[in-house]
Amino acid sequence: MADMNYKLLLIIIVLSIVVVYGCESYNNQAVKDQDHIIDQDADIVDPLKEQIAQMTIDEKVGQMVMVGLEGYEKDQYSQEMIEKYKVGGFIFFERNIRDAYQTLTLINSLKEANKENAIPLFIAVDEEGGRVTRMPEEFIKLPASRLIGRINNEELCFKIGNVIGEELKSLGFNMNFAPVLDIDSNPANPVIGDRSFSSNEQTVSKLGTATMKGIQTNVISAVKHFPGHGDTSTDSHIGLPVVNCDLERLKSFELVPFASAVENGADMVMVAHILLPEIDEENPATLSKSIITDILRSEMKFDKVVITDDMTMGAITENFDIGDAAVKSIMAGADIILVCHDHEKQVKVLEALKQAAVDGIITEDELDMHIYRILKLKQKYNLNDEKIESVDVEKINEKIRDILGKDFCALKFL
């Protein structure tokens, strides 16, 4: 009996050693596996962050500025903007667009000039339809948003957005500053009016979001003019509009269409030069951290690209130094400064931003954060500087005729 007990004890000891060793081996292997996983994660590098780490300060600052140009051809100033200042893109106006062939040729020439730079250009335009249109005369004109709003059909809006995007892409554009998400709530408004879909926030929200989605099938859509330019009686091209509404009113009315756009995948928001003293009594929206960072980014959870309205508009130039304003806008949360006119003002903005970066006013981390958003958007739409050889205007016009159809004809002369 004692011998049996001895053998049983021996078996228990051996089994205990095996179990302990097995657990230790398992734990050691688990640690090794975990270390391997950590090592693998450490080896994963975000290509965009890697690219940003290799960029010069001039390249970074350049990406944060979009500029206008003069005339129907690339000139020495636009060449300088590309070669010396490495700008992120250009905006076109009527002064740059004569016909389809000339527009295509100009865009191709800008892309060709940018081939030495690693990052492709944004090529943008305001193509809303109605009275705000830049397209060559060969294309059939699209109706104003107010007219489309009367039909009040989301599918129609998506189709119109889609054909606008196709039209722009065929010429080499890759960005459209549209649709307008302002609510036409003030009959005395000198700048919005029929550019808005409606005086009803839900209608603007529904139709604006559908139009944005349609545009996005072909090019980038920048919704505008955040936080809402509808209830103004001053044209921000001339002076600084003031909107006397508090945050509660803003959230329940003006911001409704923008909230819908953000929830539905907006890629870019354009901020307006309007002063809302109930929220920020000192700074217009484009320079206001309270509006861009606190409201748009933090509360509305928008983490993509924010661009300013044109900084050469009277609302800014009549009240601020444009260089200081550009720096303040970036510090407030904007990613891109839009400077549509005047070569000297464009240079001043670029140099002010560079100096702010050199001085650490805009920190390296902040700078890289803005660049990351910009490059991610360019990557998403697979932008490149490849030339487009020709454009089939008639094919697009036929699609426009089909989309507008009887619904538009019934309202055309109202």
- pLDDT digit string, tens, across residues 104-120: 999 999 999 999 999 99
CA dist 230 and 385 (Å) reads: 37
The torsion region of residue 301 among left (phi > 0), alpha (psi -120 to 50) and beta comes to: left
What is the per-residue pLDDT for 412? 54
What is the per-residue pLDDT for 350? 98
Query: 218 near 159, Cβ under 8 Å?
Result: no
What is the per-residue pLDDT for 240? 78
CA dist 284 and 289 (Å) reads: 10
Question: CA angle, 255 as apex, 250 and 260 as ends, to 5°?
Answer: 155
Query: 262 near 306, Cβ under 8 Å?
Result: no
Residue 340 lies in a domain: yes
Report the number of distinct structural domains present in the chain: 1
User: Could you give the residue numbers annotated as active site?
Assistant: 237, 309
Residues of the chain with pLDDT under 70: 1-43, 189-190, 230-239, 406-414
Rg (CA), the chain: 27
Residue 21 lies in a domain: no
CATH of the domain at 212: 3.20.20.300
Strands, sheet with 65-68, edge to edge from the N-terminal-most edge strand: 305-308, 268-271, 220-226, 175-176, 122-125, 89-92, 65-68, 337-339
CA dist 262 and 349 (Å) reads: 29
Q: Which residues sit opposite 271 in a β-bridge?
A: 226, 308
pLDDT in tens, 185-243: 877 766 788 999 999 999 999 999 999 999 999 999 999 999 987 666 565 666 678 88
What is the per-residue pLDDT for 62? 98
Count of CB atoms situated within 10 Å of the CB of 407: 14
Query: 72 near 98, Cβ under 8 Å?
Result: yes
CA dist 195 and 129 (Å) reads: 8
The burial of 308, by beta-carbon neighbours within 10 Å (0-12 exposed, 13-18 middle, 19 or more buried), is given as buried
Query: 111 near 94, Cβ under 8 Å?
Result: no
Domain range holding 132?
61-403
What are the two backbone dihedrals, phi and then psi, of residue 387, each rounded to the nearest 5 degrees? -75, 150
Q: Which residues sit opposite 337 in a β-bridge?
A: 65
Residue 41 lies in a domain: no
Count of CB atoms situated within 10 Å of the CB of 138: 14
CA dist 119 and 297 (Å) reads: 26
Closest CA to 92 of 111, 66, 129: 66
Residue 143 lies in a domain: yes
Handedness of CA 44, 49, 51, 53 (dihedral sign): negative
State pTM to two decimals.
0.87
Contacts (Cβ under 8 Å, ≥6 apart) of 146 = 130, 184, 193, 194, 195, 196, 197, 198
Residue 32 lies in a domain: no
Instruction: Identify the residue whose tokens are 């009996």.
Output: 1
Count of CB atoms situated within 10 Å of the CB of 382: 8
Residue 190 lies in a domain: yes
What is the per-residue pLDDT for 241? 80
Residue 236 lies in a domain: yes
What is the per-residue pLDDT for 190? 65
Instruction: Identify the residue whose tokens are 């995948």.
Output: 265
Residue 46 lies in a domain: no
CA distances from 146 to 104, 137, 233, 263, 265 (A): 30, 22, 19, 24, 24
The torsion region of residue 135 among left (phi > 0), alpha (psi -120 to 50) and beta comes to: beta
Closest CA to 407 of 161, 156, 163, 206: 156
Side-chain-side CA neighbours of residue 194 (13 Å): 11
